[in-house]
Amino acid sequence: MIRLLSTKLRDSAHYVNRERSTNQHTLKASKASVLTLVLVLMAMMVVACNSAPDVHLARGRSIEIQVSRPVVKTKMSFLDDEGKHRVVRPRASNRQLAMVEIAVVNRTSTVMPLLIDEEAAELGDRRGERIEALDPFVNSRVVEAAGPKEDEFAPLLWGEVQLDRDFQVKGWMIFDVPKGLTLGSVFWNEIEEIIADYVNYFDRG
């Protein structure tokens, strides 16, 4: 009886020690999991802080513009109001198309007439060259069939617009830019001059 009892006590002690060991391993694993989670969250925060936003906003006295980051293309296609398929290409091999989606918001005026043409917007560098917007109808050619990504940049932002208060108009504008040009800012010139920067010029020195 004593031997049996002693055996049971040893077994119980072994079970208790094993349970303590298991709890210690579980606690260590939990701490490791928490530490891993913290490191992952910190990494995500660093990536979020370092990544540039997709849309940049700039406000003037009467209007607000929201601009997407430029999308560089070797060509773009679209369907015009007459149902014709059109293709736009850079005018030289050392140039490329930069597509920018722009939203213009009327914050104050009752009705704001906009003329969105070549001079309405420019793309480029505050410290260097600026390129005016491209007229998509004058600088395109008609083709017989639709391109594979004809609706990728629709609608186009072009022409005359009557913009009511607290409304916005949004679309894509095309810029035929030299390769190597810093696409650092959008310069909006219609109604008032507003600059939306993609880069921090002060950090560039």
Q: Which amino acid, residue 78?
A: F
Minimum mean pLDDT range among 122-126, 191-195, 200-204: 200-204
128 and 160 in a single domain? The answer is yes
Task: List 71's β-bridge partners, or say none.
Answer: 99
85 and 181 in a single domain? The answer is yes
Residue 76 CB coordination number (10 Å): 22
Please enumerate in sequence order all residues whose Cβ is within 8 A of that of 48, keeping only pairs 6 or more positions apart, or say none: none
| Euclidean distance between CA atoms 117 and 1, whole angstroms | 102
Inter-residue contact 181 to 197 (CB < 8 Å)? no
20 and 59 in a single domain? The answer is no
91 and 182 in a single domain? The answer is yes
Q: What is the mean pLDDT of residues 47-60?
A: 68
Between 98 and 21, name the one with better pLDDT. Answer: 98
39 and 9 in a single domain? The answer is yes
198 and 146 in a single domain? The answer is yes
Q: Binning pLDDT at 50, 70 and 90, where does residue 2 land?
A: very low
Q: What is the mean pLDDT of residues 30-40?
A: 50
163 and 86 in a single domain? The answer is yes
Of the residues 16, 32, 51, the one at which a domain ends: 51
Q: Tell me the per-residue pLDDT of 147-165, one tens digit each, with 9 for 90 and over.
A: 889 989 999 999 999 999 9
161 and 61 in a single domain? The answer is yes
1 and 82 in a single domain? The answer is no
| Euclidean distance between CA atoms 170 and 57, whole angstroms | 13
| Euclidean distance between CA atoms 19 and 25, whole angstroms | 10
43 and 64 in a single domain? The answer is no
79 and 24 in a single domain? The answer is no
Domain that holds residue 6: 1-51
Q: Binning pLDDT at 50, 70 and 90, where does residue 54 land?
A: confident
5 and 91 in a single domain? The answer is no
How are beta strands 121-124 and 194-197 bridged, if at all? unpaired
| Euclidean distance between CA atoms 162 and 169, whole angstroms | 9
